[in-house]
Amino acid sequence: MRIVILGGDGYCGWATALYLSSKGHSIAIVDNFSRRLWDFELGVQTLTPIRPLPERLSVWQQLTGRSMTSYVGDVCDFEFLRSMITSFQPEAVVHFAEQRSAPYSMIDQKRAVFTQVNNVVGTLNLLFAIHELAPDCHIVKLGTMGEYGTPNIDIEEGFLAIEHNGRRDTLPFPKQPGSFYHLSKVHDSHNIMFACKVWGLRATDLNQGVVYGTITDEVQMDEALINRFDYDDVFGTVLNRFCAQAAIGTPLTVYGKGGQTRGFLDIRDTVRCIELVCLNPADRGEFRVFNQFTEQFSVLDLAKLIQMVAREMDLKVEIDHLPDPRVEAETHYYNAKHSKLSDLGLEPHLLSDSLVNSLIEVAVRYRNRIDPAMFAPQVNWRAGKNERRTVSSMQPALSIVEEP
Ligand code: NAD
Ligand code: USQ
């Protein structure tokens, strides 16, 4: 298939592009490198030293003989997007190209507005461009499990059958997102559903849980193909942060009671899910929603698991409970359905199989790059305006592209 990966220089996008390329698909990567810029802006960097995209692509070509096309530009630039689609003629577009950090979106007014404009306008542009230029193309959009929040009922896959005043209907599942970022995904979902209805587009909204892991078959072929491992307070996800903390013997930063429960999946399952969805497209006019995660854990479950496994590796690990900087339920009911991807053939990897080699060992290998100042949360949901430190108040931190 001819598949465009919007956001292909990022964490999920890079692993997906390599995987789909290895399967023989013709791949185009689109990215404007904004994520590398936001890292620089905040003075943070991935634990793993990722290479510039041209170097990544050239190493991939040398190793496999497979080339990928790259288009450098902003999906919010409609003319850029139109010309890319005209030139590549995709059968599927996988849309990862958004600002994906909840804390980033909660720093202040500027970052909240930026997040929603970047995400909502990029997706709207994609809908208009596909409608005009490639109406049969399947849109595979990355949403998030966080769109649903934590209701006190089971979470269905996208839609809920309800009876109200004696009448029945099946309606979009109620959304209770917990950040301006998560809200941007809800807005996207509504726009995509509407475009499928009025223009007959085909789309799959993947409500993905928290992705973990660095190692995929393709990424581990060469150090130059290494993927991101974010552990800072803004872009670092909880498992990565706990593993980086364990690697240098800093207490694990559980926010509040730690009963916050989320869906998780291995990056190897992310790439496989995308493949399954591309190979089994939605029908014309169909808006599908799949919940894309494989296991659910509470934050405290994860901390205890890492403490146990890390101790077996002779790492000293304590658990701290910090005041929760977010506004979220610290204990709650959570039971989210996730059978549609298994029905298509997904065979999940379990955290217990990858915690050591894809997370803790990677954190230990690069532990001399860990900056413990990145562990304290600096973005408070309640503040509205956070004085988080930025690169202008720090030493230069641009070693991302310079280190071997
Ligand atoms: P990432 O930040 O590593 O990658 C996103 C990429 O998109 C970056 O390379 C960035 O430069 C690019 N990008 C952003 N805005 C762009 C624009 N306007 N034009 C062109 N390129 C742009 O993020 P990720 O972790 O790979 O997440 C990818 C997608 O998956 C996001 O939409 C995110 O919301 C979703 N998701 C991620 C996770 C996770 O745990 N990482 C979980 C659920 C959903
Ligand atoms: N948490 C801690 N300690 C930490 C960091 C986080 O207890 O040091 C807690 C948070 O308070 C939260 C939970 O861990 O309750 C998850 O936080 P996270 O930062 O790992 O994940 P989140 O903000 O939800 O966002 C991540 C990705 C986002 C994606 C989302 C999927 O950054 O792009 O959409 O996971 S989901 O959580 O299903 O919405």
pLDDT digits (tens, 9 = 90+) for 192-205: 999 999 999 999 99
CA of 27 to the centre of ligand 2 (A): 30
Helix 53-64 with 11-22: angle, nearest 10 deg: 20
In a domain, 387, yes or no: no
Both tokens of 181, joined, read 């970022």
In a domain, 388, yes or no: no
Pocket residue to mutate for ligand 2, from 269, 295, 299, 318, most atoms within 8 A of Cβ = 299
In a domain, 154, yes or no: yes
Which CATH number belongs to the domain containing residue 75 in this structure?
3.40.50.720
In a domain, 346, yes or no: yes
In a domain, 60, yes or no: yes
Sign of the C-alpha dihedral computed for residues 47, 224, 72 and 4 taken in this order: negative
Q: Which domain holds residue 257?
A: 2-374
Is the CB of 243 within 6 Å of ligand 2? no
Q: Which residues are catalytic?
A: 144, 181, 185
Q: What is the pLDDT of residues 14-64, one digit of tens each?
A: 999 999 999 999 999 999 999 999 999 999 999 999 999 999 999 999 999
In a domain, 220, yes or no: yes
In a domain, 13, yes or no: yes
- Given pLDDT bands bounded at 50, 70 and 90, which one contains residue 399? very low
In a domain, 130, yes or no: yes
Residue with tokens 């001399």: 368
Q: What is the pLDDT of residues 101-147, one digit of tens each?
A: 999 999 999 999 999 999 999 999 999 999 999 999 999 999 999 99
Please count the structural domains in the chain. Answer: 1
Of 322, 362, 395, 338, give the one whose Cα is nearest residue 47.
362
b/e 297-332 (16+ beta carbons within 10 angstroms → b): bbbbebbbbbbebbeeeebebebebeebbbebbbee
| 208 CA closest ligand 1 atom index | 43
Whether residue 403 has pLDDT greater than 70: no
